[in-house]
Amino acid sequence: MPAPPATSAAAELLQRSRRRISRNRRRRYIPEGPLVLRRLFAYGAIVLTRRQKEVLDFVTRHIDRHGVAPTLHEIGRHLKLKSVATVHKHLRRLEDKGAVRRLTHQSRALAVVPSPKTAAGARIPLLGTVAAGTPIEPIEVPGTIAVPEELLGRGETFALRVRGDSMIDDGIHDGDVVIVESRREAPNGATVVALVEGEATVKRFYRRRGRIHLVPANERMKPIVAREEDVELRGVVIALLRRYR
């Protein structure tokens, strides 16, 4: 006589496994989705990606030292890019943004455009400093900062300068400027700016069992756990600006 099917036992085992994963997720504060922060770099008023900034810096240094621009192969070799087409793509993006000028059909016909002094795009409020560490009293000194229009949120958008290194594993460093979309609610795992009993901080946000957990991206620091009524959400971080020179 054949053995009875093990469907129910397998289903029960799968259910137990899912419950265990769910418990571990809550304990370790594993985000429900990947953190997406556009890391950008200011070149005067132009905003560049990390790789565009590396290409521009190499071209600038090469011209300063040798009096001529590097070839596409030299750029690719320095940045460990295997494809000349990839170098072409980065230079085309830099040209579109007005950071370099190129002449076609010439090997070293590449010039760096001086950093512009005026910004194209929108100006948003720069409301002082927010802590990436121990919460600090909110510092909201009215000012403005120019940002590309594509970095604006769907509603009210403002900027804050970061102090501290509690979010360093998420790529948010001391002195960076975070772009924040003003919101009163946020999903679990979002990076938020919040007031905890009147003091400002930037952290990962989680709501669990009637408590708010504000979790740093730095294993040396502990989460802040507070009652919902003691936390005021100011907004969700949607972009990051960093100036190198």
54 vs 237, residue with greater confidence: 237
Least confident of 96-100, 120-124, 131-135, 237-241: 131-135
Domain with CATH 1.10.10.10 in the chain: 41-112
This prediction has a pTM of 0.52
Q: What's the pLDDT band for 223 if we cut at 50, 70, 90?
A: very high
DSSP tally for the chain: helices H, then strands E: 4, 13
**Catalytic residue IDs:** 166, 203
Question: What CATH topology corresponds to 41-112?
Answer: Arc Repressor Mutant, subunit A (1.10.10)
What Cα–Cα distance (Å) separates residue 37 from each residue in 27, 59, 69, 72, 193? Answer: 24, 27, 32, 30, 14
Select the more confidently predicted residue: 36 or 162. Answer: 162
| Minimum mean pLDDT range among 19-33, 95-109, 173-187 | 19-33
Every domain range in the chain assigned CATH 2.10.109.10: 121-243
Q: DSSP letters of 93-131?
A: HHHHTTSEEE-TT-TT-EEEPPPPSS--SEEEEEEEEEE
Of residues 224 and 24, more confidence is placed in: 224
The stretch 43-72 carries a mean pLDDT of 80
Q: What is the CATH number of domain 121-243?
A: 2.10.109.10
pLDDT band at 178 (very low <50, low <70, confident <90, very high): very high
Average pLDDT over residues 63-90: 87
